[in-house]
Amino acid sequence: MILSQQKLNTKSSSNFLSDLMSLFKAIVLIANVLPVFTGLWLAMYFTNTSITDKLDIVILTIIGSTLVMAGALVLNNWYDADIDAVMDRTKKRPTVTGAITLNVVLTMGIILTIIGFILLLFTTVEATIYALAGWFTYVVLYTMWSKRRYTFNTLIGSVSGAVTPLIGWAAIDSALHIVPIVLFFILFIWQMPHTFAIAMKKCDEYRAAGVAMLPVVRGFSNTKKQIVLYIGCLLPLPFFLESLGTPFIFLATLLNVGWLGMSISRYFMKDQLKWAHMNFIYSVNYITILFSLMVVITFFE
């Protein structure tokens, strides 16, 4: 009897942890921490600042920005509970199953957001403003206004993800610098083909939920053209980061050419969902490698 109860408690704890990870969109949240850290690291590198001298700022920035992003993602789950119930990939979220009530989710989202902003205010006002811009764009302009109505919802949503390196950089120094601005544009443009690829893969689910994603409204042909177009727009951006050195420009360009070459060479393959999946996988690896490379390259400069 005791053993059975222990197993039940373990299972309940596991389910609760799984619900929390789903509520916070853990993978998305973790992925957004990397560009924040990259912005922080590069700002210290270009201002000749030691991480030990700014360790408190680094910790406050990482935790504060993560909490703000977590708050935004939780509020997104709270607002989208109705359409999440329709989509296969989201119907097990705790907001749909009832494992966590919507009132609790709303409260969590607000509290996480407030605590995150308070922590960021101990860094710089500029970093806090970028975080606020990202939060407002994602929660209000994307989730509540454009997601269900307009195909340009992806453009709006991309802004919220693109401010992350600006937050990191601004916590150390003013982000009115070519490097963080280029990082913003890399993330902004990258999110377009990345999100369009996901939308193609989940097109039927988005259609059933009434979400105005591009492939739902304009079809696969139009979406594929835009994916290739946005990938092509990434090509010149590494050349604005010459301060990171020629090896970085070479490797970043190699990543860009590789992605563009893959998407074009397989453009007319019959299985369009497979083409979308290939672009999705490349996009995930692309952004992880690129932003990690920006940090690693500074050790050899």
Confidence label for 8 from pLDDT (cuts 50, 70 and 90):
very low
Tell me: pLDDT of 276 over 90: yes
Q: Are 218 and 225 in contact (CB under 8 A)?
A: no
- Who contacts 7 (Cβ-Cβ below 8 Å, separation ≥6)? none
The Cα–Cα gap between 174 and 188 comes to 20
> Which stretch of 25-34, 170-179, 199-208, 290-299 has the lowest confidence by average pLDDT?
25-34
Domain 24-300 belongs in CATH node 3.40.50: no
Tell me: pLDDT of 2 over 90: no
Tell me: pLDDT of 88 over 90: no
Confidence label for 97 from pLDDT (cuts 50, 70 and 90):
confident
Q: How far from 262 is each of 74, 272, 290, CA to CA, in Å? A: 35, 14, 17
Tell me: pLDDT of 3 over 70: no
Q: Is 103 exposed, middle or buried (0-12, 13-18, 19+ CB in 10 A)?
A: exposed
Across the chain, mean pLDDT equals 92
The pTM of the full predicted model, rounded to 2 decimals, is 0.93
Tokens of 119: 């922590």
Q: How far from 97 is each of 15, 19, 139, CA to CA, in Å? A: 12, 10, 22
Q: Taking residues 130-150, what's their average pLDDT?
A: 96
The Cα–Cα gap between 291 and 51 comes to 18
- Give the number of C-alpha atoms closer than 13 A to the C-alpha of residue 206, restricted to the C-beta side: 23
* pLDDT score recorded for residue 4: 53
Q: Taking residues 233-241, what's their average pLDDT?
A: 98
Terminal-residue alpha carbon distance, the chain: 63
* pLDDT score recorded for residue 1: 54
Domain layout of the chain by residue ranges = 24-300
* pLDDT score recorded for residue 92: 83
Which amino acid makes up residue 299? F
pLDDT tens, 51-68? 999 999 999 999 999 999
Tell me: pLDDT of 167 over 60: yes
Tell me: pLDDT of 131 over 70: yes
* pLDDT score recorded for residue 13: 54
Name which residue leads in pLDDT, 42 or 30. Answer: 42
Per-residue exposure over 138-167, b if at least 16 CB sit within 10 Å of its own CB, e if not: bbebbbeebbbeebebbebbbbbbbbbbbb
Q: Taking residues 155-162, what's their average pLDDT?
A: 95
> Which stretch of 16-25, 29-38, 96-105, 136-145 has the lowest confidence by average pLDDT?
16-25
Collapsing DSSP states into helix, strand and coil, what is residue 88? Answer: coil
Percentage, residues of the chain above pLDDT 90 = 82
Tell me: pLDDT of 18 over 90: no
Query: Any idea what DSSP says for residue 212?
Result: -
* pLDDT score recorded for residue 86: 87
